[in-house]
Each structure stands twice: as C-alpha cells, then as structure tokens.
Structure 1
Amino acid sequence: MSNLVATSAKTEIIKRLFDAFESGPDAPIQASDKYVTYLTEDVHFRLGNLDTLVGRKAIRDSLVDFCQQVKSIYHDIKQKWEIGDVVFLDMEATYYRQDGTTVTLPVMDVFRFKGDLIQQLQIFMDINPIFG
C-alpha cells in the first residue's frame, strides 16, 4: 500500500486486511481465513453490481474461489478520507493473473467499522477486465 500518508487505527486494520492478499495468496484458504478476521460476524460485502455477501463464511468461500484465479493483488491508495466510522479509499488495484499478465483497475472502497472490525465493505469497481 503506497501513498498512504497519515495512518489511523482504522487505516492500519485496512492495511492488514489488504496484506492478507498482497503477499500473494499462494494458499487461498489461509489468506481468506486471515482476511475475514478483520470483519464482524454479520459483515456485508459487495463488489460492484454483484449480490451482497453476508457473514464471514460467505465472504471467505467467495475469496477462496477468487484467489484461485489470481496470483496476487496490490493496492495503490491515491487518496483516503475518514469520517467517523467510515473510511473511503480512492485507489488502483493491480491483479497479477495466473497467465502472467497484470490488470490495473481504478477502485473506490468504502469501509464502515464497528469498533475495530469492518462491518460493511463496498467495492466500486468493474472486475470484468480481470477475467477478459
């Protein structure tokens, strides 16, 4: 995660969440298990126009499937805004695909926290180029 100037406790949690996959999900199950530890049990997760996933297990299972399709992911944060329990990230996400090519996409993430855990995550991105 580059370009992140000021860090808060929430930003550090998001950084650890991203680190689960930035190190390369050679073991998709372990990376997904680590990822969901930063989420509340009743978390809501939505990517683009896909259906909302509810709960750690649904998100974990989806991530395991996704991680088998990419080698790793890198998040380059351009701007960050924090308002109360909500963190907004404007960034580029680079996906290293299994075929050796990379795809970099613009993305806007919105994280809503409940205490030290993420209760809602919305990712505004067109994921289709990753699979094209």
Structure 2
Amino acid sequence: MRASEATLKFLTRYYDAIESADRDRISSYYTEDITLTFGNDPAIHGREKLLEVFIPILRRVRSLHHDIANAWEDGDVIIVEAIGVWNLLDGRSVSANAVDIFVLTDGRFAEHRMVADNTPLFSALEG
C-alpha cells in the first residue's frame, strides 16, 4: 500500500540527512549491521563500512537531493521511487532516477537495496 504520512516524513528526514552529508545524522538511520546493495555491486556490510564508502562520495558534490515520486510500505519494508539530484561543486546538476528498498529493524534501516544509474554523475565528476 502507499506509504503513510509518518513514513513519508521519516523518509524526508533521512534524505535531508543525506543532503546535509552529516555523518552522525546519516548514521543514526542505520542499524550497526546494515547491508547495502547497490545494483550489481558487491554488498556492503556494516554501518561503518557503508559510511566509509558513501561519505567521500558526498564530499565530492555540493549536495544530493531526493525528490520522492512514489513510496509504498508493507510491514517493515519501504519501497521508494525517487529522483536524485546531485548538485556538483562547479554549479552543474545531474539527475538520476532511483529505487530504494529498505527493510527496517527497530525503526532503522537494516537492509538497503538501491537501483540507479549513476553513470552521468561519475562522468561529470571525472570530466
């Protein structure tokens, strides 16, 4: 079913934490043993490892904003369709459609599966 208003507010606060690039704020949304799977990449296990990978990417851009297009929930599973807008340090913006699948444990993300094509982002960062 469609995500509740409370879930949408929770997701908005999470994506705001991502946009802030604040390690502690972002960390507060993850269980210690979270597993992140991004597309076909190998899974990342553990909150600290996830932050070690993700925070340096956020530091290479001005911000990453998410516009939630749709969200659904069923028990402890949340599925989000979003548009990620990467605002680059040089003033350009790069957008990517994404789907996030979250599994919650005790109100935190224990599993996060992400599907997005970030090729335009990495091309812009390297070009």
Q: TM-score range by the shorter chain?
A: 0.7 to 0.9
Q: Deviations over 1:80-117 (max 9, x none)?
A: 11111100011111000122210111111101001211
Q: Which residue of 2 aligns with 1:116?
A: 107
CA contact (8 A) 1:78 1:91 kept: yes
Alignment identity in percent? 26
CA contact (8 A) 1:48 1:124 kept: yes
Q: Deviations over 1:38-93 (max 9, x none)?
A: 11111001222222111111011112211121110111111111111100011111
Q: Which residue of 1 aligns with 2:120?
A: 129
Instruction: Please state whether the residue corresponding to 2:117 is helix, strand or coil.
Output: coil
- 1:87 maps onto 2:84 in alignment: no
Q: Which residue of 1 aligns with 2:5?
A: 7
Q: How far did 1:35 drift?
A: 0.5
Q: Which residue of 1 aligns with 2:35?
A: 44
Q: Which residue of 1 aligns with 2:96?
A: 105
- 1:21 maps onto 2:18 in alignment: yes
Instruction: Please state whether the residue corresponding to 2:5 is helix, strand or coil.
Output: coil
Instruction: Please state whether the residue corresponding to 1:99 is helix, strand or coil.
Output: coil
Count the aligned residue pairs.
122
Q: How far did 1:121 drift?
A: 0.6
- Please tell me the root mean square deviation across aligned C-alpha atoms, in Å: 1.8
Q: How far did 1:32 drift?
A: 2.1
Unaligned runs of 5+ in 1: 26-30
Unaligned runs of 5+ in 2: none
CA separation in 2, counterparts of 1:63 and 1:17? 14
